[in-house]
Structure 1
Amino acid sequence: MLSIKDLAVSFKTRRGEVDAVRGITLEIAKGETLGIVGESGSGKSVTSYALMRILDAGGRIKAGEITYSGIDLKRASERQMRDIRGREISMIFQNPRAALNPIRKVGHQIEDVLIQHGRATRRTAREEAIKALEAVRIRDAEARYDAYPFELSGGMCQRIVIAIALACDPQLIIADEPTTGLDITTQKAVMDLMADLIRERGMSSLLITHDLGLAAQYCHRIVVMKDGELVEAGAADELFASPKHPYTQKLVDATPRHDATIRDLLPAEIRTPMPEHTPADKPLLEVINLVKTYQGKSGPVHAVKGISFSVKAGQSVGLVGESGCGKSTTSSMIVRLLDRTSGEILFDGKDIGEISCRDFIKDPMRSQIQMVFQDATDSLNPRHTSRQSIAEPLKCLAHMGAKERTARIEELADLVGLPRPLLDRFPHQLSGGQKARVGIARAIALNPKFLILDEPTAALDVSIQAVVLNLLVDLRAKLGMSYLFVSHDLHVVRLLCDHVVVMKGGEIVEAGPANEVMENPSHPYTRELLSAAPKPPERKAA
């Protein structure tokens, strides 16, 4: 169905031409799901953008051939491509909220595609759009038709994007990191849904992901990319069980498994002894009967329902649960981005919940509580370079001089593995993994006592994830930092956290030592979370 031969893609930059894809060759057969895996910046997404002919203005297909069902996509006119996009080849983008128009009802966005490709008239479009919503198993599709993206959860927005992609019954679906940032049960529901629809409709699909467990579970074949080149290809089970290329071996070894430690996931050459840390007996943070209630159109909405837990000095506590369970609301109240409805937030013995969000900005404790946000793109100022973003807390809260600030910024860049030349780049010039590192560097700039990490490794490839987690372990040991690690990735939580708190529907349903909760979960919901996690095949012993 699809054939790519010797594809080369380059981008013009101020410093000259950059080769993003260098002579790759691959094929997708009818009914096949092909996975492309590799690190951030390896050329995975650029390959798909070249295929769809949606490269940025500075990008161009330098060489090679792209043939879809006998059509030469490289030489097709823009008018032909507009007809092919959506009708023959559809794409599911990484960030569903960014892919949807925020000021247009989701039903109307599905109608746009149907009308554009002649699959519906103005009169029949609403009915066909509702059918498309029902096809992706959205409950009460008629009501959701009139919803705006901001009124829906991340998982629901992803289903809307899938509905748009499938509306015209395309023959090829390109899914670019379709579950990044989704909780583990929603991820499984979305991937199972895609797999079912692809199978029922006899479509082919291209799954781009950094999650090797996900690729192993849903793909027939996998190709591995590194630095714009294809380094290995093969059947999914075979490639994971017996990887041939050193880079593939590195990726497989870095994939979190049930019995792995962080040091097991690191390349051998950078493994160091695990630093010792002993959490103090005294809590640094105590959350007592914390409640957050919003006033909705049809009455109060209880986002957090009287939860209590504590984090000791030097301890790492994992907060896990589905989208909408109250994890992010809880962490936003602790970092004082949201005011509580009731309850106490004791930090170093002081109830910081009594201080309004507006006043807390000026409080001396502000520098001691920092946050790494889930979406690195949205949390960085698009007009600031990496250097300026990392400098912000140093200027505003530490009042450092220019010389001292420059030295600290470069030290932080080295700490998080961000090459110094990237300090002068803007967010749009960085990969997802690089942007995440900038966010972490900014958060640790002031050596805070307490760090809230909201899905900090969700967008990172596995080898970078291992290095970042290792960095967080080292920082906690060296600086005595405490972490509240908000995540849906239970493998990662078990690697980093001493203690786990499981939330569902605004309440805590289970809490305890990480190993105990992971090995012997007592609540059915915790067992459901654990069973939903993708499990990569075991690598055969050499």
Structure 2
Amino acid sequence: MLSVKDLSVIFHTRRGAVDAVRGVSFDVAKGEILGIVGESGSGKSVTSYALMRILDAGGTIKAGEATYSGIDLRRAREHDMRDIRGREISMIFQNPRAALNPIRKVGHQIEDVLRQHARATRYDARDKAIAAMEAVKINDAAARYEAYPFELSGGMCQRIVCAIALACKPRLLIADEPTTGLDITTQKAVMDLVRDLIRERDMSSILITHDLGLAAQYCDRLIVMKDGQIIEQGDPEQIFSQPQHPYSRKLVDATPRAGASVRDLLPAEARAPEPRIVISDQPLVEVRDLVKTYAGKSGPVHAVKGISFTVNKSQCVGLVGESGCGKSTTSEMLVRLMDATSGQIIFDGNDIAQTPARGFAKDPRRAEIQMVFQDATDSLNPRHSARQAIAEPLQRLGKMRGAALSVRIEELAGLVGLPLSLLDRFPHQLSGGQKARVGIARAVALDPKFLILDEPTAALDVSIQAVVLNLLVDLRAKLGLSYLFVSHDLHVVRLLCDHVIVMKDGEIVEEGPAAQVMSQPQSPYTKSLIAAAPKPPKRAATIDQLETSDAQHSALHDQRAS
């Protein structure tokens, strides 16, 4: 159906030409789901944009051929490409909210595509748009037709994007990171839906992702890209069990999986012994009957319904659940960005819920409770350098100035592994992992006791995620921190957390030791979360890896015994 040969794409920048894609060749057979995996900057998305001829300004297809059902996509006229896009080849973009028009009803946006390609008239467009919404399993589609994107959840917006992409019944679907930011059950629902529609309609698909576990579960064949080139391709089982290229091995090893430790995610040469952490039996944070209620159009909305839990000193507690379960609301109340409707938050013996959120900014305890936000890019001021971002809490709350401030900033950069040469760069000049390090350095600048981590690795590549997770483990040991780790990635929670709390509809449905909850869940809801998590094929271990793993296991057993 699609044949790509020696495709090369360059971008013209102020500093000269940049080779984004270099001599890429692959085929997509009818009915096949091809996965393209690799880290940010590997050329995955640029390849798909080149096929659709929607490259950013400055981007040019330098060489190569791309043939779709006998049509030369590279040389086709723009008039013909407008007809091909949506009708023959369609695309699901990474960020559904950014892909949708925020001031236009979602039903009308589906109509636009149908009428653009003469698949509907003004008389039947509404009915066909509703049918397209029903095809992607949107309940009460007639009512949702009138909704604006901001009135829908992330998962529902992603379904609308799928409906738009599939409305004209294309033959090839390109899905570019279609599940980034979605909770684990919504991710499974969206991917199952896409897979089933591809089978029902005898389509083909290209799935672009940095989640190797997801790619292995849904793709017939995988391509691994690095620096604009294909470095390996083959059957998912083969690439996971016996990756041939060192980069593929690095990606596979960095993918969180059952039975691995947080150190196992790192390359063998970078694995230091995991630090020993002694968890105190003294509580640092006690949450008692915490309630948050909002006023809604049709009555009160109960976001958090009287939950209670404890985080001990030096303990890492995981908070998991689907979008809308109350995780983020709970986090914001604990960090005192939001007032509770009722209940207590006992921090180090004092009920901080009694201090209004607005007034807590000047409270001496503000420095002791900090947060690392989900999106490192959005949480950093684009006009402030890394140095200024780290300095801000030190200046505002620590009252530091001059030489002492400079020394502390460089000390924190060293602590989180951020090269000093990057301190004067702005966020857009830093990679995702480097921005995450700036966010963590800023959070620990004032020596807090309690750190809330809200999906800190959700948008990171697996190898960068592995480094950040290991950094969090080391900082917890060095600084004696307690963590509340909010996530929907159960594999990461299993690696990092001692204790797990599972939330659903504002309530705690299960909690207990992480190993116990993950291996023997009691709640049907927890069982459904674990069942929804992608399960990558097992990695075939080498003799050296087995010996290293045995040695690490013995050392860890000795530490726990002592």
TM normalised by structure 1 equals: 0.94
Q: Which residue of structure 1 lines up, in the alignment, with residue 536 of structure 2?
A: 536
Which digits, 9 at most, give the CA deviation of each residue in 1:170-225, with x for residues without a partner? 12111111111211111111110110011111111111111111111100100111
State the number of aligned residues. Answer: 542
* Stretch deviating more after TM superposition (520-529 or 500-509): 520-529
Q: Which residue of structure 2 lines up, in the alignment, with residue 318 of structure 1?
A: 318
Q: 1:16 to 1:438 in 2, by over 3 A?
A: farther
Q: Which residue of structure 2 lines up, in the alignment, with residue 495 of structure 1?
A: 495
Q: Which residue of structure 1 lines up, in the alignment, with residue 485 of structure 2?
A: 485
Which digits, 9 at most, give the CA deviation of each residue in 1:61-84, with x for residues without a partner? 233222222222223343333222
Alignment of 1:403-418 (within 5 A): 405=405, 408-409=408-409, 412-413=412-413, 415-416=415-416
Mapped to 2, the partners of 1:304 and 1:81 lie a distance apart of 49
* Cα contact 1:11–1:59 (8 A) shared by 2: yes
Secondary structure (helix, strand or coil) at the match of 2:537 reads coil
* Stretch deviating more after TM superposition (262-271 or 421-430): 421-430
Secondary structure (helix, strand or coil) at the match of 1:309 reads strand
Secondary structure (helix, strand or coil) at the match of 1:251 reads helix
Query: Cα offset for 1:426?
Result: 4.8
Q: 1:366 to 1:534 in 2, by over 3 A?
A: same
Task: Output the amino acid matched with 2:34.
Answer: L
Mapped to 2, the partners of 1:401 and 1:67 lie a distance apart of 62
Q: Which residue of structure 1 lines up, in the alignment, with residue 445 of structure 2?
A: 445
Which digits, 9 at most, give the CA deviation of each residue in 1:42-75, with x for residues without a partner? 2212222222222222333233222222222223
Task: Output the amino acid matched with 1:291.
Answer: V
Task: Output the amino acid matched with 1:51.
Answer: L
Mapped to 2, the partners of 1:24 and 1:313 lie a distance apart of 52
Which digits, 9 at most, give the CA deviation of each residue in 1:479-531, with x for residues without a partner? 11111111111111011001000111110011111111112111111111111
1:16 aligns with 2:6: no
* Stretch deviating more after TM superposition (234-243 or 116-125): 116-125
* Stretch deviating more after TM superposition (498-507 or 401-410): 401-410
Unaligned ranges ≥5, structure 1? none
Secondary structure (helix, strand or coil) at the match of 2:374 reads coil
Q: Which residue of structure 2 lines up, in the alignment, with residue 306 of structure 1?
A: 306
List, as ranges, runs of 4+ consecutive aligned residues in structure 1 with deviation greater than 6 Å. Answer: none
1:40 aligns with 2:40: yes
Q: Which residue of structure 2 lines up, in the alignment, with residue 191 of structure 1?
A: 191
* Cα contact 1:180–1:459 (8 A) shared by 2: yes
Mapped to 2, the partners of 1:29 and 1:15 lie a distance apart of 39
Task: Output the amino acid matched with 1:351.
Answer: D
Which digits, 9 at most, give the CA deviation of each residue in 1:208-244, with x for residues without a partner? 1111111111001001111222110001122212211
1:228 aligns with 2:228: yes
Q: 1:103 to 1:356 in 2, by over 3 A?
A: farther
Mapped to 2, the partners of 1:7 and 1:466 lie a distance apart of 32
* Cα contact 2:433–2:468 (8 A) shared by 1: no
Q: Which residue of structure 2 lines up, in the alignment, with residue 83 of structure 1?
A: 83
* Cα contact 1:521–1:527 (8 A) shared by 2: yes
1:393 aligns with 2:393: yes
Alignment of 1:208-247 (within 5 A): 208-247=208-247
Q: 1:219 to 1:8 in 2, by over 3 A?
A: same
Secondary structure (helix, strand or coil) at the match of 1:150 reads helix
Q: Which residue of structure 2 lines up, in the alignment, with residue 169 of structure 1?
A: 169
Alignment of 1:40-439 (within 5 A): 40-401=40-401, 405=405, 408-409=408-409, 412-413=412-413, 415-416=415-416, 426-428=426-428, 432-439=432-439
Query: Cα offset for 1:433?
Result: 4.7
Q: 1:105 to 1:387 in 2, by over 3 A?
A: farther
Q: 1:77 to 1:443 in 2, by over 3 A?
A: farther
* Cα contact 1:41–1:431 (8 A) shared by 2: no
Alignment of 1:508-523 (within 5 A): 508-523=508-523
Task: Output the amino acid matched with 1:134.
Answer: E
Mapped to 2, the partners of 1:205 and 1:429 lie a distance apart of 33
Query: Cα offset for 1:441?
Result: 3.6
Mapped to 2, the partners of 1:159 and 1:13 lie a distance apart of 36
* Cα contact 1:181–1:455 (8 A) shared by 2: no
Task: Output the amino acid matched with 1:115.
Answer: R
Which digits, 9 at most, give the CA deviation of each residue in 1:372-408, with x for residues without a partner? 2223343333444444444433443334436555555
Secondary structure (helix, strand or coil) at the match of 1:85 reads helix
Secondary structure (helix, strand or coil) at the match of 2:472 reads helix
Mapped to 2, the partners of 1:363 and 1:512 lie a distance apart of 33
Mapped to 1, the partners of 2:102 and 2:418 lie a distance apart of 33
Task: Output the amino acid matched with 2:465.
Answer: Q
Please tell me the root mean square deviation across aligned C-alpha atoms, in Å: 2.1
Query: Cα offset for 1:23?
Result: 2.0
1:469 aligns with 2:440: no
Q: Which residue of structure 1 lines up, in the alignment, with residue 552 of structure 2?
A: none
Q: 1:201 to 1:440 in 2, by over 3 A?
A: farther
Secondary structure (helix, strand or coil) at the match of 1:252 reads helix
- Between the two proteins, what is the percent identity of the paired residues? 76
Task: Output the amino acid matched with 2:243.
Answer: P
* Cα contact 1:490–1:530 (8 A) shared by 2: yes
Task: Output the amino acid matched with 1:362.
Answer: K
Mapped to 1, the partners of 2:295 and 2:379 lie a distance apart of 27
Secondary structure (helix, strand or coil) at the match of 1:168 reads coil
Query: Cα offset for 1:431?
Result: 5.2
Task: Output the amino acid matched with 1:155.
Answer: G
Q: Which residue of structure 1 lines up, in the alignment, with residue 30 of structure 2?
A: 30
* Stretch deviating more after TM superposition (192-201 or 342-351): 342-351
* Cα contact 2:31–2:203 (8 A) shared by 1: yes
Unaligned ranges ≥5, structure 2? 543-562
Secondary structure (helix, strand or coil) at the match of 1:538 reads coil
Q: Which residue of structure 2 lines up, in the alignment, with residue 2 of structure 1?
A: 2
Task: Output the amino acid matched with 2:459.
Answer: A
Task: Output the amino acid matched with 1:235.
Answer: D
Q: 1:334 to 1:129 in 2, by over 3 A?
A: same
